[in-house]
Structure 1
Amino acid sequence: MHRFLLTPRWWGINVFVALAVPVCLFMGTWQLGRFEDRVATHREAASQHPDRPAEPLESLLPVDKTTSGRLASASGEYADQLLVPDRQLDGRSGFYVLTLLKTDSGKAVPVVRGWLPGRADPAKAPAAPTGRVEVTGALQASESATTKGVHAEGGLPAGQLGVIGAASLVNLVPYGLYDAWLTVQSPADGLKPVPAQAPSNTGLDLKAFQNLGYTGEWFVFIGFLLFMWFRLYRREVETLRDAEAGLLPEPQPQPQEAAEPTAPASAAAAPAPPTASASAPPAE
Structure 2
Amino acid sequence: MYRFLFSSKWLGYLLLAAVFAAACLFLGRWQMDRRAETLAEINRVVTNYSATPVAFDEIRDQFSTLDVDREWTQVAVQGTYDVDGQRIIRNRPLNGQPGYEVVVPFTLSTGETIIIDRGWLPIGNNNPGRPDTIPAPPGGEVSAVVRLKHGEPTLDRGAPDGQLASIDLPTYQQELGYPVMTGAYGQLAAESPRPADTPVGFPMPATEEGTHLSYSLQWFAFGVLMFVAFGYAARQQARNAAIDAADAAEDAALEESGGTVLARAPQYAAVGAQRRPSPARKRRGPTAEEEEDAILDAQGY
Deviates more, 1:160-169 or 1:215-224: 160-169
Contact preservation (8 Å) 2:44, 2:70: no
The percentage of aligned residue pairs carrying the same residue is 22
Against the structure 1 CA distance between its residues 95 and 220, is the aligned structure 2 distance closer, same or farther, given a 3 Å change threshold? closer
In structure 2, the CA distance between the partners of 1:102 and 1:239, relative to structure 1 (3 Å rule), is: same
1:186 matched to 2:191? The reply is yes
SS in structure 2 of the partner of residue 172 of structure 1: helix
Q: Superposition pairs for residues 142-153 of structure 1, below 5 Å? A: 142-143=151-152, 153=159
Q: 2 CA distance for matches of 1:97 and 1:45?
A: 22
Per-residue CA deviation, residues 211-234 of structure 1 (Å, 9 max, x unaligned), is: 345414422422331232123212
Q: How does 1:16-165 map to 2 (within 5 A)?
A: 16-18=16-18, 20-21=20-21, 24-48=24-48, 50-56=50-56, 57-61=59-63, 62-63=65-66, 66-74=69-77, 78-79=81-82, 80-82=84-86, 84=88, 98-103=103-108, 108-112=113-117, 119=131, 125=136, 128-129=139-140, 135-143=144-152, 153-154=159-160, 156=161, 159=162, 163-165=166-168
Report the Cα distance in structure 1 between the residues aligned to 2:180 and 2:75, rounded to whole angstroms. Answer: 16
Gaps of 5+ in 2: 125-130, 252-260, 264-301
1:173-222: CA deviation from partner (whole Å, max 9, x where unpaired): 112323332225134233547645667xx8437xx42x345414422422
Whole-angstrom distance in 1 between the partners of 2:216 and 2:96: 36
The letter of the residue matching 1:138 is R
Residues 30-54 of structure 1 show CA distances to partners (whole Å, capped at 9, x for unaligned) of 4224224413432442344624232
Would you say the 8 A contact 1:69–1:196 is kept in 2? no
Distance 1:178 1:197, change over 3 A: farther
The residue identity in structure 1 corresponding to 2:104 is: T
- Aligned partner of 1:260 in structure 2 is none
Name the counterpart of 2:222: 221
Q: Decide which structure has greater helix share.
A: 2
**Code of the aligned partner of 1:215:** S
Aligned partners of 1:125, 1:112: CA distance in 2, in Å?
13
TM-superposed CA distance for 1:77, in Å, is 5.5
C-alpha distance in 2, partners of 1:13/1:92?
50
Scaled by the length of structure 2, the TM-score of the pair is 0.57
Counterpart for residue 208 of structure 2: 204
C-alpha displacement at 1:23, in angstroms?
A: 5.1
What code does the residue aligned with 1:140 have? Answer: K
Q: Which residue is 2:273 aligned to?
A: none
Over 3 Å counting, the alpha-carbon distance change for 1:128 and 1:114 in structure 2 is: farther
Give the Cα separation in 2 of the matches to 1:127 and 1:111. 13
| Structure 1 unaligned blocks of 5 or more | 253-284
Query: How many residues align structurally?
Result: 237
Amino acid at match of 2:185: W
SS in 2 for 1:42: helix
Residues 79 and 109, structure 2, Cα contact 8 Å, conserved in 1: yes
Contact preservation (8 Å) 1:85, 1:160: yes
Equivalent residue letter for 1:125 = A
CA contact (8 A) 2:44 2:72 kept: no
User: In structure 1, the residue corresponding to 2:53 is in which secondary structure?
Assistant: coil
Which amino acid in the other structure matches residue 228 of structure 1?
A
Distance (whole Å) between structure 2 residues aligned to residue 16 and residue 116 of structure 1: 53
CA distance, structure 2, for counterparts of residue 116 and residue 227 of structure 1: 55
Inter-partner Cα distance in structure 2 for 1:135 and 1:113: 10
Q: Which moved more, 1:99-108 or 1:83-92?
A: 83-92
Distance (whole Å) between structure 2 residues aligned to residue 115 and residue 243 of structure 1: 75
Contact 1:185 1:195 in 2 (8 A): no
Native 8 Å contact 1:28 1:215 kept in 2: yes
